[in-house]
């Protein structure tokens, strides 16, 4: 069974602080996706990383895929209240046509 | 506009009943997946359809079944509902070969 563990589970920070969310697995994935989900809504895709060691930046968000394609991280610089939500990593296994989601990190950014 | 529409948004059923949830995907999205999300947890993969055939399945019993139709719509059927089936059910679609999925807002199912 493929498992994706995210840490921390909960994070409450003030506006302007930096944070990093980790996504770890013992399995290799062909790609790793990050989503953000708000209450009452479905997850919204933020980024997909495909190559081991790949780094992608989306404004204040930086995503990294581990060299072995088993882990990933999401770093947010100068967090804003609009960043509040549930952050989910998801690994895709092409052979099984399956997207496995992580346990989630709930982020709250206060003024 | 997310491009993926799910209906109904909320549903209450009694244990033992059957339920059908529906999803309408964007035109051209020939791959559709269904997920179950319990409160406070990440979505769990139920199954995936590609061009109307199931091509991936998670650890869910056979009473969870699905269909995908040529018009890019799909449905999830659950028979013999149990209390633990209470969850948010999410539909997601994509163009085959691309990575990212577009999710609907989900159907909140409560089994009493």
- Residue B1 pLDDT level (bands cut at 50, 70, 90): very low
Q: Nearest residue on chain A to B47, judged by CA atoms?
A: A98
pLDDT tens by residue, A53-63:
999 999 999 99
pLDDT of res. B26? 86
Other Cβ atoms less than 10 A from the Cβ of B94: the count is: 22
Q: Which residue of A has its CA nearest to B97?
A: A94
Question: Residue A100: is its pLDDT beyond 50?
Answer: yes
Nearest CA in chain B to A98: B56
Whether residues B45 and A99 touch (CB distance < 8 A) is answered with: yes
Which helix (H) or strand (E) segment holds residue B107: the answer is strand B107-111
pLDDT digits (tens, 9 = 90+) for A26-73: 999 999 999 999 988 999 999 999 999 999 999 999 999 999 999 999
Cβ contact, residue pair B44, A1, below 8 Å: no
CB contact under 8 A, B43 and A101: yes
Distance CA A64, CA B3 (A): 28
Q: Encode pLDDT of B31-80 as tens digits.
A: 999 999 998 889 999 999 999 999 889 999 999 999 999 988 999 999 99
Nearest CB to B105 within list A4, A31, A41: A41
The candidate with the shortest Cα–Cα distance to A90, out of B104, B99, B83, B81, is: B99
Closest CA to A37 of A86, A106, A99, A108: A86
Residues in contact with A52: Cβ distance below 8 Å, sequence separation at least 6, in sequence order:
A65, A66, A67, A68, A69
The whole-number pLDDT of residue B95 equals: 85
């Amino acid at each position: 069974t493929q498992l994706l563990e995210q840490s921390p589970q909960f994070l409450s920070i003030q506006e302007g602080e930096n944070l990093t969310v980790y996504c770890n697995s013992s399995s290799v994935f062909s790609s790793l996706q990050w989503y953000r989900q708000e209450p009452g809504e479905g997850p919204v895709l933020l980024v997909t990383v495909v190559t081991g060691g790949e780094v992608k930046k989306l404004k204040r968000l930086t995503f990294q895929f581990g060299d072995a394609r088993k882990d990933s991280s999401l770093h947010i610089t100068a967090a804003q209240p609009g960043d509040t939500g549930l952050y989910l990593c998801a690994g895709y296994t092409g052979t099984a046509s399956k997207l496995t989601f992580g346990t989630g990190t709930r982020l709250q950014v206060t003024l | 506009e997310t491009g993926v529409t799910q209906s109904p948004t909320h549903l209450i059923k009694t244990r033992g009943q059957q339920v059908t949830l529906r999803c309408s995907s964007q035109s051209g999205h020939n791959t559709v997946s269904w997920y179950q999300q319990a409160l406070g947890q990440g979505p769990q993969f139920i199954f995936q359809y590609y061009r109307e055939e199931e091509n991936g399945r998670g650890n869910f019993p056979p009473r969870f079944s699905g269909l995908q139709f040529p018009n890019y719509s799909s449905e999830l059927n659950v028979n013999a509902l149990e209390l633990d089936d209470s969850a948010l059910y999410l539909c997601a679609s994509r163009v085959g070969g691309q990575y990212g999925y577009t999710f609907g807002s989900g159907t909140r199912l409560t089994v009493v």
